Amino acid sequence: MKIFTTSDHAEFAQLLCEHLGCSLSDLSVGQFSDGEINLQVNETVRGEDVYIVQSISAPVNDNLMKILLAADAMRLASAKSITAVIPYFGYARQDRRVRSKRVPISARLVADLLQSAGFDRIVTVDLHSDQIQGFFHIPVENIHSSSLIIQEYQNFQHHDSLLIVSPDVGGVERAQAVAKRLCCDLAVVDKRRSTANQVASMQLVGDVRGKHCLIIDDMVDTGRTLAKAADLLIDQGAIKVSAYCTHPVLSGDAHQLIEQSKLTCLFVSDSIISKPGSKIRVLTLAPLLAKAIDRIYRHQSLSEMYAC
């Protein structure tokens, strides 16, 4: 097994290697003066099982090109197998044509590019929608990170008043899985968007009075939706509102907005490089992904990872 990464995700890859008991392999990435990416593998990979760690996060297009070029380099160097470890799968929100608008299905295009580059398998975390796996003709391992927040709340002192909240109808299944593991009830925020990143209205389905609410979502981008949801829950009688969002995109002034919101705490993973704050707490995916990679390498079941 050989683990590679681009310079952007080196710290996370190093932590991943520590849990796997191996060292990070040598790959150099640079740029020509016109912005073209220049990449070179600095050790032999012939006959090896190669894992390339790279989130498709900001700068999204550069990081996408890096992982594509790395795969092509490994393929031409005769690697036995090439696995993409993509903690955050960029472009996943563009997974369909809404009401037949003249838009691309960008998630499918990215899937086509990854397969054409030579990847044999994709390992990712909390895909925005599970059906994206159907865009691929190679195995896709969608690792669920809910165990991170479940560990945080298993010994929650106000467990009798804990309530899991889905921030939209599409995320009910994800939130329901956490509610089931924590043996608590579920509420849903029904939100209507006017445009991307803009919420026109919100309505609450469920009773949150006297509850400690935990919002479960796959990502937080601008933070506006999360802040509005926290306002709604507090106005409806919730005692406190926290959230777990796997992928901290946190674009623009999101950090400031979260700090000024009524949220008590926002838990995020390190699928994207993000700075913590007084309200933002980072939980590492490294042990979970290391366990998944080890099981893949040894041809063992991944479903056993989630056994209670």
Q: Which of 2, 66, 191, 211 is catalytic?
A: 191
d(CA 8, CA 148): 23
- Annotated catalytic residue 240: no
Residues catalogued as catalytic: 191
